[in-house]
A = this chain, B = another copy of it.
Amino acid sequence: MTIQIDEQSTGNVIEPVIGALRARLGDRVTTAAAVREQHGNTLTWLPIQPPDAVVFAENTQEIVDLVKLCAEHRVPIIAFGAGTSLEGHLNAPHGGISLDLTRMNKVLAVHREDMDCVVEAGVTRMQLNEHLRDTGLFFPLDPGADATMGGMAATRASGTNAVLYGTMRDFVINLTVVMADGSVVRTARRARKSAAGYDLTHLLVGSEGTLGIITELTVKLYGIPESIRSAICTFETIEGACDATITAIQLGLGLARCELLDEAQIEACNAHSKMDLRPVPTLFLEFHGTPVTTREQADMFAGIAADNGGSDFQWAERAEDRSKLWAARHEAYWAARTYRPGTQAIATDVCVPISRLAECVVETQKDIAETGLVGPIVGHIGDGNFHVLLLIDMDNAQQVMAAHDFLDRLVKRALAMDGTCTGEHGVGTGKMKYMKAEHGPGVEVMRAIKKALDPHNIFNPGKVV
């Protein structure tokens, strides 16, 4: 089967829609160029494609009305959270409305005994953790940016401690979603598990705003660990670092974070933070548990590391000592960005089975070197996931071309290893061209679902499928 998704153009139907929205929402509808541009693309090298208007919603009912209006007039709706996506998820190639959810930022309930909470989609993860401060609970997911909960669900976000706690796929218990016909669906109950029907929760998680608008979420929380122990350890080779990680996971060591910084990234951190780290592959680790268990984990890891060519193993338990150990990792993104002044940083990611990770990273390093690019690598290696931060002079057409070609090769390399074109950044428009290679006839299944649930293609058109 081949499913055709309609491409609509908004043309002149947008004006009456904006008029109707203004009548209802007043100055929460704006067509100011600066606001539209800020909502039309962020943090990516894809050209900006601004929406026709930006609407700031305050509750689910307003979104129901907006969806019905836009469905009637075939006007695209692009849900907007913190604007930290990296693959053009927020571009408006067909114009339409950017639906800004950041004013829907209430924590609606915290259930201590159930270890979950109910939030509006615009709550950010840092805001949530601030809110939880006195409960002994926390929301562990940490994708770096202070993203919104709705945005993290829509993009299936992940980050540094997914190796222990899982990705947004694992955190979401249920979602409240406005569908294309204006119906409001709660995708599941608040029970921790269910075998009652199709898993709408996970269908919506990662759908990048193309199947419905997420307005509320129930997510799992965890107890703040009694003891957190951090460690760093250097390795002579990428293989050594990966092998140590694989062994630790096989032994059930319970790594909470396991981050690899490659030689180039360590050099960038040294330059940025006036540090003096040895420019070799380095693991940044964190163990969560009781003082007894984290001590045992750290000791065991030290032994495993030594067996795999690791050295300079250091650990710390006190908060300020932990911060010192992790300073380089926390600064990695900004260090890389300032490593070559005047360049733009192009962040990308792939994910492979962990047995292929060392090979994939080493081949990628060689590819970067041969292409003459600069691209430090940071990996969430417990998951087999790593980032390349290409530092590109965007005025140098040859370099831009070389970067494009490199990204193609990176994805092909990951796919050839039974990996994915993106472990956590998502598809947006940037990685649509790889969907067929990754999913084969599965793309047609996705398109059939899209067509069934959004027959007029109003939700984030031109993305994902």
Contacts and interface: CB of A to CB of B under 8 A. Distances in A.
B193 A1 contact: no
Contact of A179 (B114, B222, B419, B441): B441
A199 interface: yes
A196 B111 contact: no
A141 interface: no
Contacts of A439: 185-186, 196-197, 200
A373 interface: no
Nearest to A423: B193
A8 interface: no
Interface centre among A194, A196, A439, A444 (most CB of B within 10 A): A196
A22 to B, nearest CB: 29
A116 B355 CA distance: 11
Interface in A33-87: none
A54 to B, nearest CB: 25
Nearest to A356: B114
A443 B197 contact: yes
A169 interface: yes
A87 to B, nearest CB: 9
A191 B448 contact: no
Contact of A196 (B112, B422, B445): B422
A167 interface: yes
Interface stretch (A154-162, A303-311, A337-345): A154-162
Contact of A195 (B156, B188, B195, B225): B156
A420 B452 contact: no
Contacts of A167: 193
A20 interface: no
A415 interface: yes
B195 A424 contact: yes
A250 B191 contact: no
A132 interface: no
A165 to B, nearest CB: 11
A13 B394 CA distance: 65
Contact of A385 (B193, B197, B438, B449): B193
A435 interface: yes
Contacts of A251: 223, 226
Interface string A175-205: 0000101011111111111111111101101
23 contacts: A1-B183, A111-B355, A114-B354, A114-B355, A115-B250, A167-B193, A169-B199, A169-B202, A183-B445, A185-B441, A188-B420, A190-B353, A192-B353, A192-B354, A193-B383, A197-B443, A198-B203, A198-B207, A200-B439, A223-B252, A252-B288, A449-B453, A452-B452
Q: Which 8 A-B pairs have the closest CB atoms?
A: A202-B202, A452-B452, A113-B355, A194-B420, A190-B418, A183-B441, A191-B351, A195-B426
Given A136-B250, A156-B194, 9 more contacts: A185-B439, A185-B441, A191-B351, A193-B420, A194-B420, A200-B445, A203-B449, A226-B251, A293-B293
Interface of A: 1, 111-116, 136-137, 155-158, 162, 167, 169-170, 179, 181, 183-200, 202-203, 205-207, 211, 222-223, 225-226, 246, 249-252, 288-290, 292-293, 296, 351-355, 383-385, 414-415, 418-427, 431, 434-435, 438-446, 448-453, 464-465
